[in-house]
């Protein structure tokens, strides 16, 4: 007979900040990882890059150093998100293979807004280069 062991988890939320509110933020690309979304209903899996960015230059100090995450598919219909992200960070079109670590330290402007299907959660709606104009 197989006995299942229960492990209780005791979370510590002491350092949790409120979520990043909708708005436009200056961010610096800090890290990335390769991930895969499992295809549903016979659709193939989709590979993506999960970017971690950090806010800076905000007048309200509590909004500096906040993490914002953004996923860019590297294939399929959503691959335009990677092209937009790369163009905003590097100032040129993406063509061929690239080292994603080249984007670390690059600065962007992102627009955060509620998700269409789950408005209780925010997502990156657009990325643009930072301009001094």
Cα torsion at 77, 82, 84, 88 (round to 10°)? 180
pLDDT bucket at 132, cuts 50 / 70 / 90: low
Q: How far apart are CA 126 and CA 67, in angstroms?
A: 16
Strands 46-56 and 23-37: antiparallel
Q: How far apart are CA 49 and CA 2, in angstroms?
A: 39
Torsion sign (Cα): 71, 76, 81, 83: positive
pLDDT at 80 over 90: yes
- Helix, strand, coil percentages, rounded to 5, for the chain: 15, 35, 45
pLDDT at 27 over 90: yes
The whole-number pLDDT of residue 4 equals 66
Give the domain ranges of the chain: 23-129
CATH class of 23-129: mainly beta
Whole-model pTM: value is 0.81
What number is the average pLDDT over the span 61-76?
90
What number is the average pLDDT over the span 67-90?
94
Residue 72 and residue 81 in contact, taking contact as beta carbons nearer than 8 Å = yes
pLDDT at 9 over 80: yes
pLDDT at 89 over 80: yes
Separation of CA 57 from chain center: 19
The whole-number pLDDT of residue 99 equals 96
Strands 23-37 and 107-114: antiparallel
The whole-number pLDDT of residue 70 equals 95
Residue 129 and residue 50 in contact, taking contact as beta carbons nearer than 8 Å = no
């Amino acid at each position: 007979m197989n006995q299942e062991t229960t492990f209780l988890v005791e979370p510590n939320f002491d350092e949790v900040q409120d979520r990043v509110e909708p708005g436009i933020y200056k961010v610096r690309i800090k890290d990335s990882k390769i991930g895969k979304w499992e295809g549903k209903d016979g659709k193939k899996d989709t590979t993506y890059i999960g970017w971690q960015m950090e806010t800076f230059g905000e007048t309200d100090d509590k909004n500096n150093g906040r993490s914002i995450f953004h996923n860019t598919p590297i294939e399929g219909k959503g691959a335009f998100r990677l092209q937009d992200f790369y163009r905003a960070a590097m100032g040129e079109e993406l063509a061929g293979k690239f080292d994603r670590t080249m984007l670390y330290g690059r600065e962007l402007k992102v627009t955060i807004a509620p998700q269409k299907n789950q408005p209780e959660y925010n997502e990156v709606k657009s990325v643009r280069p930072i301009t001094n104009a």
